[in-house]
Amino acid sequence: MCPAERLAYRSHPESGMLSITGCDSETLATAVARLAREMVRGQLIRDGWSLLHASAFSRKDRVMLAFGGKGSGKTTIALTLTRAGEWELLANDRVFVRAEDDRVRIVPWPLAAAVGLGLLEALGWYDIVRERLLACEALHPTQDARVTDALLQGRRNPLWDGGKELKAQIWPVQFTEWFGVGLAQEGDAAALLFPQVDAAADQPCLAQSARILSDDDFMAKAEDRYPDIFQLVRAPIGGYDSSRARAAAHLQALPHHGLILTHGVEVNAELLDTLLKP
């Protein structure tokens, strides 16, 4: 039982059946979608895929993976390039990877993208989002109500709750329908990017070194946001060690680029476009 959400679950693990009952249609739909997604995740992990903590964008099936913690610039890099039209957004924050022969295939993990109000403004998307909300369209239901209120009122400064930035939660399809960003379905990993954002920097530049992939990049520690209490996933948290090791070995052999980014979208785009030319 989840009294706060007014939801009830009844699981039959032996048959794989799960019934969910609720009082609010949106809350119920969100719960169903979330658990269905977990079942898909489990199937992919059992098929040898691993979940990787990275943003991804592609051009002609060449996928660039951007790594880092919160505020490092993963989302900034992906959206900066995809807004220009030559690159397509594959995923924000998480992707599935699997080593196959001499390549690593990348497919997206379905997830709303968290985009801060400042980044929306820098990308030129703030007014588009506000107009859509005023026309009674909606962002992802998990978005904090304070973000929705700020957008409706036209407040553009970043919102914070303690040390956590509150962000707009954008459905993947909205990147295409609202902003004209293309969405990629899959591709092969071509390079790894390790950005950092330095608000005091005048110009973006290459960093001296790029760090090595860690277990934190694969979702071994962070993947248990929704514990498998209904036995739907039927796979270990973080996937299988052998699958992760094969994918990591292939990824480590690809070019690594450390980057220092500024808050200037256009100058960041110029550096990235030069760096990532085929």
Span 155-184, pLDDT tens digits: 999 999 988 999 999 999 999 999 999 999
pTM for this predicted structure: 0.89
Q: What is the residue extent of each domain of the chain? A: 56-112+171-214+238-275
| Confidence (pLDDT) at 210 | 83
- Strands 62-66, 187-197: pairing is parallel
Supply the pLDDT for residue 223.
Answer: 65
Give the tokens for residue 268. 């960041």
- Are the CB atoms for 181 and 83 separated by under 8 Å? yes
What's the full length of the chain, in residues?
Answer: 278
pLDDT tens by residue, 40-76: 999 999 999 999 999 999 998 899 999 988 778 888 8
With a cut of 70, list the residues of the chain below it in pLDDT: 220-226
Angle (nearest 5°) at CA 54 between 50 and 55: 125
CA–CA distance, 79 with 73 (Å, rounded to integer): 10
Task: Give me 199's structure tokens.
Answer: 């608000």
Class of domain 56-112+171-214+238-275: alpha beta
Beta bridge partners of 159: 166
Distance between CA 52 and CA 211 in Å, rounded?
A: 16
Q: Find residue 218's DSSP bridge partners.
A: 52
